[in-house]
Structure 1
Amino acid sequence: MSGLLALFDDVAAMVKMAAASVDDVGAAAGRASAKAAGVVVDDTAVTPRYVHGFTADRELPMIKRIALGSLRNKVLVILPVILLLSQFLPWLLTPILMVGGVYLCFEGAEKLYEKVSGHHAEEEAPAAARGADQEDVMVKGAIRTDFILSAEIMVISLNEVADEGLLSRAIILVVVAIGITLLVYGVVGLIVKMDDVGLHLSGRSSAAARRVGLLLVRGMPKLLALLSTVGVVAMLWVGGHILLVGADELGWHAPYALVHGAEEAAAHAVPAVGGVLGWLVNTAASAVIGVVVGAVVVAVLHLVPRRARAAQH
């Protein structure tokens, strides 16, 4: 009997240890997610532009496909790679992340170039009218862009739990990957379907409900168009920020020191809103870096080959 009681005591102790471990994982995942909050906001702003212009019945299925692709990227590709690198080749994480930053700068600058030059003006037609394959193209583009943002989210999260053991890091990052994916694409789903909610409310008998419904119906297309623009800007500032911080970590301190100094000066200039001003300065500087780097890549990939072909003819 005493042996059975001792076994129960051991089981109870193991359960308490497991519960404590779950609490520790939850707390660590919360800390890691909070550090990546800025990129999460950017990811939420970027995604709606990929479903902008499609018919209402295709919006949620597209978001579901993008969300599943994002989760696969995080758990099956990014997570194993960054865990192995952090364990054996930690110095490679920053250069790899910077390559992704260059891609984000390029994609954002390319969208600006298309708007300014009108080179792809025909794509301004509604997405649903550009053929059945357009949905696949946009979903793949969204997943490709999300891959870079997801990589930054996961690397930032990894840095917050770098002192944990390999297994603990893996579990925490899986929790972060699932939680952030649900948060981002849950919010995106709500944003793109708010006009349907407005349409439903506009048919209600209550005058207040109808007013709110009409406001949503009229306002959501403008909000989606605004988010599409914010998404492009977000790619530029996130990409530029990755390059700014990465260059500092690799030993080129001057650009980051300059931006950080300007950020500190802005923060102390108006103490009441110093944090906001400092963030705006950092964001603006990162966006400028993103535009410059992206413009160089766009010139190399688009303008130079086009002029060479024109010269041949």
Structure 2
Amino acid sequence: MPKAKIYLLVAWTFMFGCQHNSRPTAEALFHFVPQQFKQYNLQKPDAKYFLPYVLEEISGMAYYQPGIIACIQDEDGKVFFYNHKTREIENTVRFEGAGDYEGLASDGEKLYVAESNGHIYKIEIGSHGDIHKVKKYKTALKKQNDVEGLVYDPTLDKLLVACKDESSIEGKKQKGRSFYYFDLEDKKIEKKAAFNISRHDIKKYLEAHKDFEYEVNRINFKPSGIALHPINDHFYIIASIGKLMLITDKQGTIKGSIPLDPRLLGQPEGICFAPNGDLFISSEGQGDKGYILKFNMN
């Protein structure tokens, strides 16, 4: 090959190759967390717990008692009490038959389960670890809302419900994905959304902190789990579709955005915190055992 062509090829490779390598990766695209929220290394879990096959499709969890994580799977109305220290299921209770159960929350005593069609179950556990009482509440949310996340807010003594799909209640249109409070006193969903998170909100947040252009259609956020941090009092919301974690304040304002590595979390569905701030995220097994990853709080 003539020298002139070799020089031209080298120059072309340097110019365009460097441009290609300097483009932001998917991780860089969605990653911006202020220093006060850099408490977890989501690339390096401190522990991994493989669950029995009965929890292959683990869909929600809540920290129940010291060392005990309450778990549900999306096809059967059972709560499994998993001891992450002994790595064993210590107890199982049935609250309902077959269904599509997606969210689990605890107020420290009672458990609450959200079905995808908007039904909420209150479960009281007896002194011997058996079911003492179960109450089912039908809400204004419907199947098309596709409820996926549930968390207890002790400040308000309410449950916050996350909708994965349709955001409206009784025809009242909403933008983005909506989050509604369920009042534990009157046992009803508050029809005014607590807050909404739209693609525009995420785009606005990212563009306030990034100086490069990106394809906005790559932002795909459908909540699959939500938890309230016991120390900083912020919501941590995960999305299996979009592989993203958002940190928001109580008003739903985005304060941080972290990508979830699909190699670590194939289908992240559940999230909860221990009282000391340690973070647990669960993933369905996708044909294998489901599992929980633990991330110690720094």
Query: Which structure's residues are more often helix, by fraction?
Result: 1
For the pair shown, the structure with the greater C-alpha radius of gyration is: 1
Query: Which structure's residues are more often strand, by fraction?
Result: 2
Q: TM-score, normalised by structure 2?
A: 0.25
**Greater RCO, 1 or 2 (C-alpha within 8 Å, sep 6+):** 1
Q: TM-score, normalised by structure 1?
A: 0.24
